[in-house]
């Protein structure tokens, strides 16, 4: 079959890769000049700056099926986080990966033992889909002091509102895997998926007429069309459906090498930032020699002065120690996944017309890759 894939993000690339391996005639068009959609990296003065703090979980089933994990040369984060409480620091995490987490895990400062047991019950249950805050309300302090602040950085919104079923799904993958960052930045993932693929850049789809994709460079006749762009763009192109995406801002600052030794994601539940991490302590390739790179995320844009003030408190340094390298305002960071939304939506939305992307599954790399594979398999089955 002759297939046109609109968009060279993770979903589109995975779909095209599978189609090509099945000897389908596939053409990928991309409106911009690069691969990856929201998964991208800039290289500036020896620094690697991902478009927002992003990690890759090698345990994701779809990543394993794509057989690209080895190409990424992942540098793993610790399986725990640091939380500031009343100017004191506690670590919580997976004690099976490091016994040092046991003290924080068992401490009453991170919640009572009963609250943590109730959270484990939630993790292993199959309860009805509700707002996350109501689904695990019995965990109270453990939820408000640990789980909620951590998941704010995962979902890039208030976790209270999201689907409990979706949250359980993504927490399962966090428990199963050990996320990390590629040695050469997250752009390594779309690059690995695009291996042996030809992509036509700066070709924008402006409409779909039956079996034709209308672009800024003419029409493309197709037996099947795969719309692999983000939720807002898809709603505009297809003229259907509501869309809702979360926003975030990420700042990258340089500090002198060795000024911060921690490799953990650090969170202050009472602060204005979502999280901060010295990403070059995980992957030294992210910064030039003599400098360390700090990645900091918030849901909203804040003044640089406020961010510096928060960083100084978070890392116990002077605000003057931080040099701003770049700020990324990302108005469409992740799709919202509210209660009642299926973990996988209908991919074929009309005969031989498919809509894929993480908004059609879980808001994750796993969700994007999954929808790409399902669309490809459905097309191959018809060929």
- Cα–Cα dist 48/184, whole Å: 7
Tokens of 237: 């192109």
pTM over 0.85: yes
Q: How many CB atoms lie within 10 A of CB 241?
A: 12
pLDDT tens for 201-252 read 999 999 999 899 999 999 999 999 999 999 999 999 998 777 889 999 999 9
**Residue listed under structure tokens 């500036």:** 44
pLDDT tens for 190-203 read 999 999 999 999 99
Contacts of residues 308-311 at CB distance under 8 Å and 24 or more positions apart, as own/partner, are: 310/268, 310/271, 310/272, 310/273, 311/253, 311/273, 311/276
Which string of DSSP letters, residue by residue, matches 250-313? EEEEEEETTS----SEEE-TTSS-SEEEEHHHH-GGGS-TTEEEEEEEESS---HHHHHHHHHH
Question: Angle 187-162-108 (CA atoms, 0-180°, nearest 5)?
Answer: 95
Which of left, alpha, beta for 249 (phi over 0: left; psi -120 to 50: alpha)? beta
Instruction: Give yes or no for a contact between 171 and 59, defined as CB atoms under 8 angstroms apart.
Output: no
**Domains of the chain listed by start with CATH number:** 2-40+187-243+338-382 (3.50.50.60), 75-177 (no CATH), 245-335 (3.90.660.50)
pLDDT tens for 29-75 read 999 999 999 999 999 999 999 999 999 999 999 999 999 999 999 99
CA distances for 314 relative to 93, 108, 268, angstroms: 19, 22, 7
Per-residue confidence in pLDDT tens, the chain, 383 aa: 999 999 999 999 999 999 999 999 999 999 999 999 999 999 999 999 999 999 999 999 999 999 999 999 999 999 999 999 888 899 999 999 999 999 999 999 999 999 999 999 999 998 899 999 989 876 688 999 999 999 999 999 999 999 999 999 999 999 999 999 999 999 999 999 999 999 999 999 999 998 999 999 999 999 999 999 999 999 999 987 778 899 999 999 999 999 999 999 999 999 999 999 999 999 999 999 999 999 999 999 999 999 999 999 999 999 999 999 999 999 999 999 999 999 999 999 999 999 999 999 999 999 999 999 999 999 999 98
- Cα–Cα dist 12/7, whole Å: 6
Contacts of residues 233-240 at CB distance under 8 Å and 24 or more positions apart, as own/partner, are: 233/7, 234/355, 234/357, 234/359, 237/6, 237/205, 237/206, 237/207, 237/208, 238/208, 238/349, 238/355, 240/349
Instruction: Give yes or no for a contact between 286 and 48, defined as CB atoms under 8 angstroms apart.
Output: yes
């Amino acid at each position: 079959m002759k297939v046109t894939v609109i968009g060279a993000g993770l979903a589109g690339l995975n779909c095209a890769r599978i189609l090509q391996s099945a000897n389908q005639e596939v053409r990928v068009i991309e409106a911009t000049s690069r691969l990856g959609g929201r998964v991208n990296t800039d290289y500036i003065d020896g620094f690697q700056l991902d478009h927002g703090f992003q990690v890759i979980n090698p345990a994701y089933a779809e990543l394993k099926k794509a057989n690209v994990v080895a190409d990424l040369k992942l540098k793993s984060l610790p399986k725990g986080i640091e939380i500031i409480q009343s100017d004191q620091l506690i670590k919580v995490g997976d004690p099976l990966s490091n016994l040092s987490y046991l003290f924080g895990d068992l401490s009453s400062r991170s919640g009572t033992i009963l609250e943590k047991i109730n959270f484990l019950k939630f993790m292993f249950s199959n309860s009805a889909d509700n707002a996350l805050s109501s689904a695990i309300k019995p965990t109270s302090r453990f939820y408000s002091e640990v789980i909620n602040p951590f998941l704010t950085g995962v979902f890039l919104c208030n976790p209270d509102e999201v689907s409990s079923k979706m949250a359980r799904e993504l927490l399962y993958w966090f428990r199963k895997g050990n996320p990390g960052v590629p040695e050469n930045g997250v752009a390594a993932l779309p690059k690995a998926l695009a291996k042996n693929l030809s992509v036509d850049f700066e070709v924008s789809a402006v409409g779909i007429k039956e079996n034709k994709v209308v672009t800024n460079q003419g029409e493309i006749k197709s037996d099947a069309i795969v719309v692999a762009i983000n939720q807002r763009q898809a709603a505009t192109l297809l003229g259907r459906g509501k869309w809702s995406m979360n926003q975030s801002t990420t700042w990258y600052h340089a500090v002198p090498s060795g000024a911060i030794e921690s490799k953990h994601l650090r969170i202050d539940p009472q602060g204005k930032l979502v999280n901060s991490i010295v990403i070059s302590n995980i992957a030294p390739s992210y910064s030039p020699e003599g400098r360390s790179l700090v990645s900091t995320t918030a849901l909203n844009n804040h003044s640089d002065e406020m961010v510096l003030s928060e960083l100084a408190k978070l890392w116990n340094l002077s605000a003057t120690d931080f040099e701003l390298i770049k700020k990324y305002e990302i108005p469409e960071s992740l799709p919202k996944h509210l209660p009642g939304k299926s973990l996988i939506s209908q991919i074929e939305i009309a005969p031989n017309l498919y809509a894929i992307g993480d908004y059609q599954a879980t808001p994750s790399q796993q969700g994007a890759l999954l929808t790409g594979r399902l669309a490809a398999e459905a097309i191959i089955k018809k060929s």
